[in-house]
């Protein structure tokens, strides 16, 4: 994660999107599951945010893995640390605030989880979005 943070400190170069999408696709399971690791969950938020917003809608192809990570983080039977749940909410909210296409993509992902997230912090966010 720290290596990714340092690499991603500089802006994406024009034309590098394909290469960064390839890296994200290769590492998507690791970086999204890192949201459930209390030692690095806060750091991975910035990495994922930059990756997703710079790759634009190309990054949405990784949202199925993002959704699986959210299921893990907010599973009522799991003892996921509150810091990780908070970090995931921060990422979701930052993405939603980054423009209409991000808000729509995140909302679609969240609505698809609604029935599985009853009684969790994520359900509260979903209910606030819907209304």
CA-closest candidate to residue 126, choices 6, 113, 64 = 113
3-class SS of residue 10: coil
Q: 34 near 1, Cβ under 8 Å?
A: yes
pTM: 0.88
The CA-to-CA distance between both ends of the chain, in Å, stands at 36
- Measured CA to CA in angstroms, residue 123 lies from 6, 90, 98 at distances of 34, 15, 21
- pLDDT truncated to tens, each residue of the chain (131 aa)? 566 666 666 666 677 777 777 877 888 899 999 999 999 999 999 989 988 998 888 899 999 999 999 999 998 888 889 999 999 999 999 999 999 999 999 999 999 999 888 888 888 889 998 76
Burial class (CB in 10 A: 0-12, 13-18, 19+), 77: exposed
The two three-digit tokens of residue 1, written as one number: 């994660």
């Amino acid at each position: 994660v720290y290596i990714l943070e340092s690499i991603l400190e500089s802006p994406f170069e024009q034309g590098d999107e394909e290469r960064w999408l390839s890296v994200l696709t290769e590492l998507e399971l690791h970086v999204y599951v890192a949201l459930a690791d209390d030692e690095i969950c806060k750091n991975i938020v910035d990495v994922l945010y930059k990756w997703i917003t710079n790759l634009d809608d190309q990054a949405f192809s990784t949202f199925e893995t993002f959704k699986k990570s959210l299921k893990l983080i907010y599973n009522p039977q799991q003892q996921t640390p509150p810091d990780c749940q908070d970090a995931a909410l921060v990422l979701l909210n930052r993405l939603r605030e980054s423009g209409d296409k991000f808000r729509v993509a995140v909302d679609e992902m969240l609505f698809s989880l609604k029935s599985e997230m009853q009684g969790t912090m994520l359900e509260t966010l979903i209910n606030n979005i819907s209304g």
